[in-house]
Amino acid sequence: MKRALPRRSTLLIALVIVMMDQLSKAAASSALQGGQSLPVLPHLLSLQLVHNTGAAFSVLQNSTALLGLLSFGVGIGLILWIWRERVLPFWQALAAAALLGGTLGNGLDRWRLGHVVDFLALQPIDFPIFNGADVAINLAVLCFAIDLITRRGDSSRG
């Protein structure tokens, strides 16, 4: 029998992701001054507060309203998909939960603050500063890929 998650579990995972994202952003906002860098893992990861009015890699800078609407639309679409399916294959459910949690986490920032709070900075490379919601969205892509690979492997066996 294949592993699956019911919609309640999928939505609960998404809610936990949103809560963790919002709590971490609140903590970073209260602990860091703009431009200040606080090493967490020396030469690997530091905390640095940035307010981003664009999307990933600063695409669509100063498009907060458009990106907020996009977040809202994607969130509604994901909730409807999860609700309609009732039960999702395990990796699809994790992907949907991570994508929903990350989308809503950054969407809440845009709606409430007019920008997204970013604070995780990789040190050895010049990579954009990001946050927990961004990590969740990237994990969603990984989970969708794992789902695709495992389903393809299952169909070739049968």
**Exposed, middle or buried: residue 41 (CB in 10 Å: 0-12, 13-18, 19+)?**
exposed
Q: Is 154 a catalytic residue?
A: no
| Cβ atoms < 10 Å from Cβ of 93 | 25
Q: What is the DSSP string of 27-70?
A: HHHHH--BT-EEEEETTTEEEEEEEESSSGGGTTTT-HHHHHHH
Q: Which of 109, 134, 147, 154 is catalytic?
A: 134
Alpha helices in the chain, H assignment, sequence order: 7-31, 64-85, 90-113, 132-157
Catalytic hit among 21, 109, 118, 147: 118
Known catalytic residues are 118, 134
